Chain A
Amino acid sequence: MISLAGRDILHGWGKFVLTGVGLGLLIGVTLSMAGVYRGMIDDAQALLDNSGADLWVVQKDTLGPYAEPSSLNEDTERPIRAMAGVDRAAGVTYLTMQIAHEGTDVRVMVVGAEVAVPGEPGQPPHLLAGRRIVQGHYEAVADVKTGFAIGDRVKVRRNSYRIVGLTSRMVSSGGDPMLFLSLKDAQDAQFDKDSDAIVRQRARTASSPVLNPPGNPAVAEAVNAVQASSNNVNAVLVTVKPDADAGQVAAAIRRWQRVTVYTRADMESILIDKMIANSARQIGMFLVILAIVSAAIVAFIIYTMTIGKIREIAVLKLIGTRNRTIAGMILQQALGLGLIGFAVGKIAASFWAPFFPKYVLLLPADSVRGFFAVMAICSLASLLAIHAALKVDPAEAIGG
């Protein structure tokens, strides 16, 4: 037996392929939407992985440092470092800001990490090029997605920093690439005031008899110095010793310090269940709408193709073609359309994924799921046309 569906498609392949390509672009968009969602999750995982931490110590009762603001004194770190089971502990700051670079603004997350010792949590775990920060000041390591190159000078607030190293896949939970500074520099940047504010602050100190006691200018000097610098961090990242249990260490820190401690699992649930959840629902809505639109397109085109063949279908029935064969022909055409659409969509999605500003992660498993969804949608969409074809009366072929 020959394939009636295949022959019919070959006969009018131009229209069929064009429709398939149109459907394919739609499927490509759908796959990309799923990729955007996977990318967000992967960004969140990368953020947690690359921080190198087992535990996150944050300001008491906050969801910090990624989901809510959190501020701790950097000295919090010292007693933690001394606790049983703790391997390393280091303060970090996070600050999202715009940085001017070669005439455009780049949105980055400025990360302040302790740089004195290599391998402290918070530092970029791997470098693509260049070296790590070795000077305490005015050096930076950037994620390649910032577009910065080694040797570039970038201005963060009032100071200028030289890029000495490049890293990759270091992004904030919002997908902004990271720029690493030494903790001290980052603290300055974070709590930097503009010159007017400093002048005003100094005037206020000078005019206060408490902060500027007559005859003792050293007090005012000291106050100004304290006000101009900051020693706060947003979180203390902790790694535990290989034989220690992260949960138990977290419990111990909670007992001794007025802080909130999150494990890796807690942090994942904060990032993925709380922060990404809304975006996920948003994307889910898009997926549903796209699925409906695709189904409508397939249904419409298959229905039109079938209605255009009513006479032939009547003849086929009259000369002894079974309903099953005719329904099979229509179903195969719908599936063929889905196949072309899926192939085009997969290629399109892979092609345009790198051009998305945020990370688009096309998982093979999602493609497989997408393939079956497309096939299911096409089968459903062909029902209308099959229904119309089965209603055709073979008597119509004989006519009056």
Chain B
Amino acid sequence: MAEGIRIENLVKTYGSGDTAVHALRGVDMSVAKGEVVGLIGPSGSGKSTLLKCLGAVIEPTSGRMTIGDRVIYDDRWKAGDLTALRRDLIGFIFQAPYLIPFLDVIDNVALLPMLAGKPNAQARKEARDLLEALDVAHRAAAMPSQLSGGEQQRVSIARALVNRPPVILADEPTAPLDSVRALAVVDLLNSMAKQFDTAIIVVTHDEKIIPTFRRLYNIRDGVTIEEERGVLKAQAAK
């Protein structure tokens, strides 16, 4: 399978000297295109830190990260246009949907292609297609506050996908959802990953969905342990 994400010996230390926190101590990880992997670990183990490094939000201390052929970080790294990098390569899904409250549903999604320079009409068309695929197109004109939690989460997934980024990073995307909806979101991520050839990392504590991942990374004290699991289909778990 083609490589989506590769992380080699990634180190992140917050602060320095006596107060230094060694959040990541040499993480290795790889995710294929079209694959969804889980990332689990106890609180404070470095999951969010890993997402932030990969998401080009904070600067790692050392190591190497690539997305497809593109080197995101290595020892020759210089701070470049991280905003454009995030916009073009990475989709984010959060525990809470964090939709923009003053934009209606369709423009919440269409904003990303617009930011990438696409004309409004085309951006909205792409957004609508995706909302249809996620079964929330009928709420396109609503404001986020008028949506149910599950609908909001689906809109935020549409937003993460709309620019067809090669990578999606999801931090606890199912935490506020009941088990049926949580499994539906995982199904959705799986089918989206296949459809768009996206490499997806899902950080989770959620016991309901952990069994659905074919591959899991367990992170402890800043290092990852890869675990293979027998696939428990979301369908079967219901």
A residues lining the B interface (CB < 8 Å): 1-2, 4, 7-8, 10-12, 311-312, 315-323, 325, 393-395, 397-400
Which of B52, B95, B98, B110 contacts A315, CB < 8 Å? B98
One digit per residue, 1 when the CB lies within 8 angstroms of any chain A CB and 0 when it does not, for chain B 147-165 equals: 0000000000001000000
**Given A7-B107, A325-B115, A395-B58, residue A400 in contact with residue B98 (CB < 8 A):** no
A-B contact pairs, 15 of them (CB 8 A): A1-B114, A2-B114, A2-B120, A4-B102, A312-B100, A319-B86, A319-B112, A320-B87, A320-B116, A321-B115, A322-B83, A323-B83, A394-B86, A398-B57, A399-B171
Q: Known contacts A320-B87, A394-B86; can you find 9 more A-B pairs with CB under 8 A?
A: A2-B120, A7-B103, A318-B55, A318-B86, A318-B92, A320-B83, A397-B98, A398-B92, A400-B48
Question: Counting CB contacts under 8 A, is B111 at the interface?
Answer: yes
- Contacting pair B87 A10 (CB below 8 A): no
Q: In this complex, what residue of B is CB-closest to A7?
A: B102
Docked complex: B85-136 residues within 8 A CB-CB of A: 86-88, 92, 94-95, 98, 100-103, 107, 110-112, 114-116, 120
Q: Let me know if A2 and B111 touch, CB within 8 A.
A: yes
Bound-complex Cα distance A254 to B84 (A): 82
Please name all residues of chain B whose beta carbon is closer than 8 Å to the beta carbon of A399 when the two chains form the complex: 48, 94-95, 171
Q: Which 6 A-B pairs have the closest CB atoms?
A: A320-B87, A11-B102, A8-B102, A395-B57, A315-B98, A1-B114
Chain A CB within 8 A of B51 CB: yes
Expressed in whole angstroms, the Cα–Cα distance for A276 and B55 within the complex equals 66
Task: Report the bound CA distance from A1 to B55 in whole Å.
Answer: 24
Kindly list chain A residues whose C-beta atoms are within 8 Å of the C-beta of B171. Answer: 398-399
Given the known inter-chain contacts A320-B116, A400-B48, please indicate yes or no for A11 contacting B101, CB distance below 8 A. Answer: yes
Task: Please give, as numbers and ranges, the residues of chain A lying within 8 Å of B159 by CB-CB distance.
Answer: 319
A276 and B99 alpha carbons, distance in the complex (Å): 59
Q: Contact at B98–A311, with CB atoms within 8 Å?
A: yes
Which residues of B are found within 8 Å of A317, using beta-carbon distances?
Answer: 83
Select one of A2, A12, A319 contacting B87, CB under 8 A. A319
B83 touches A1 (CB 8 A): no
Indicate if the CB atoms of B102 and A12 lie closer than 8 Å. yes
CA distance A12 to B145 in the complex (A): 13
- The interface bits of chain B over 136-152 (1 if a CB of A lies within 8 angstroms of the residue's CB, else 0) are 00000001000000000
Given A2-B120, A312-B100, A394-B57: A320 and B88 interface contact (C-beta under 8 Å): yes
Would you call B115 and A320 a contact (CB within 8 A)?
yes
Nearest Cβ on chain B to A123's Cβ, whole angstroms = 67
Collect the chain B residues with CB atoms within 8 Å of residue A394's CB. 57, 86
Is A397 in contact with B92, judged by CB distance below 8 angstroms? yes
> With the chains together, A7 CA to B116 CA distance in Å?
19
Contacts of A10 in B (CB 8 A): 102
A7 to B120, CA, bound (A): 15
Q: Given A1-B120, A321-B115 in contact, is the A312-B87 Cβ separation under 8 Å? A: no
A400 nearest CB across to chain B (Å): 6
Q: Is the CB of A321 within 8 A of B102?
A: no
Q: In the complex the two chains form, what is the Cα distance from A318 to B86 in whole Å?
A: 7
A1 to B115, Cβ gap below 8 A? yes
CA distance A323 to B115 in the complex (A): 12
Residue from B52, B84, B101, B112 in contact with A395 in the complex, judged by beta carbons closer than 8 Å: B52
- Report the Cα distance A320→B100, complex, angstroms: 14
Specify which chain A residues have a CB less than 8 angstroms from the CB of B112 in the assembled complex. Answer: 319-320
A398:B116 contact, CB within 8 angstroms: no
Taking the closest CB of chain A, its distance from the CB of B157, in whole angstroms, is: 13
| Residue pair A398, B48 in contact (C-beta under 8 Å) | yes
Tell me the smallest distance from the CB of A92 to a CB of chain B, in Å.
68
